[in-house]
Amino acid sequence: MVASGSVLLKAGKEKSLQRRHPWVYATAVAQVIGEPANGALVDVRGSDRRFLAWAAYSPGSAIRARCWSYREADVIGPEWLRGRVAAAVERRNDLWACTNAARLVFGEADGLPGLVVDRYDDTLVAQIQAAGVDRHRETLLDALCATSGCTSVLDRSDAALRTREGLAAPGAVLRGPAPPETIRIHEHGVHYAVDIRRGHKTGFYLDQRDSRHALAVQVRAFVQRHGRGPRVLNCFCYTGGFSLAAALAGAAEVVSVDASADALALARRNAELNGIGGAAARSLQWVCGDVFEHLRQLRDQAERFDFVVLDPPKFATNQHQVDRAARAYKDINLSALRLLQPGGCLLSFSCSGAIPVDLFQKIVAGAVIDSGIDCYLRGRLGAGSDHPTLLTHPEGEYLKGLLLERTLAGA
């Protein structure tokens, strides 16, 4: 494929590409030579005209170019794209021993900026949200189906993001037959029904697989240590991911709170999928309501839990919302800490990309200080191996979590 134009950067704006950051912002562009179409291949050059990268051009986006490669010798075309897809799929091969659902392509981290593809059993769900990958959509979809063995592909692209990229909405079914309304997946022995058409993200929080498993491990250890099942509170529970992982690991009681009645209905169905019915189902409480308010109610009722999970939706979508988001994170963490039994554990998460890891830890530490409750930091949690982060693209590390243990002293 031959470049249809060149993007020349302003003096001093070369540094990010020299460090292999994959985005070129419009404010860094000094001149565009030629008339490259939306998604067309361009070469990006510094103010001294030296080659920096091959990129996909997007004339209407704040991110004016997304880099394919920093090697001038690379030939960006169908064969190169198929190689990137094959390498991404191969990197996930070790996951199939514990699950039938994983992220096959994670955008910039897999060298395919703007493309996210999740596999649910034998169905692929794609988000095509940048001009470059949209221009090569057919090649990429052919490669994905060939390497994964899947024949059905559903589109779940974010309409607002595509609009900002100057892209039209693609068809709902991109390949093969229309998939069923829900698809059954499993991970570490737990089964879930996933609504891939209307569910959050592409239907399920695949990025929390490792943390759900970590909670199950902690619950089993608790049972062995104390001879009883723990009491667990799961806030923003969605369709019951953490709740069912804890219940099947031996929790005596799991209270799950979410504002969505539809999500809770699917969570109850997921409990049945795992054989939790009849008298056993009474150990699961599904509460439809505002988490902030319910946490305060539990505090006023002097409730205590051995484990509390906080996995809220994105509180900050950009830098302008960081201060408000920080207050919200502190609020729920402060309430959760006051509900912990001495020796109990809090798993607290943020999926806001605008909140960096160090800031999130400072926010939670502030809640610890204000609560007057001492905690150990037992570990840091994050997305699984199918959601890798390039060190040159820290924006990809959106999910971060902390595992805290309340100390026994002063209980």
Name the residues annotated as catalytic. Answer: 351
Pairing assessment for the beta strands 340-350 and 305-310 based on DSSP bridges = parallel
3-state helix, strand, coil in the chain (%, to 5): 35, 30, 35
Question: Do residues 366 and 392 lie in contact, with contact meaning Cβ atoms separated by under 8 Å?
Answer: no
Question: Do residues 397 and 382 lie in contact, with contact meaning Cβ atoms separated by under 8 Å?
Answer: yes
Q: Which amino acid is at 358?
A: D
Whole-number Cα distances in Å, 245 to 103, 141, 238, 330, 347: 20, 33, 13, 26, 14
- For residue 30, the surrounding DSSP H or E stretch is strand 29-34
H runs (alpha helix) in 257-409: 261-273, 291-300, 322-337, 357-371
3-state secondary structure of 253: strand
Pairing assessment for the beta strands 123-128 and 152-155 based on DSSP bridges = parallel
Find the angle CA(49)-CA(55)-CA(57) to the nearest 5 degrees.
100
Q: What are the backbone angles phi and psi of residue 39, rounded to the nearest 5°?
A: 90, -5
Question: Do residues 242 and 154 lie in contact, with contact meaning Cβ atoms separated by under 8 Å?
Answer: no
Q: DSSP labels for 268-291?
A: HHHHHHTT--GGGGGGEEEEES-H
Q: How many CB atoms lie within 10 A of CB 346?
A: 26
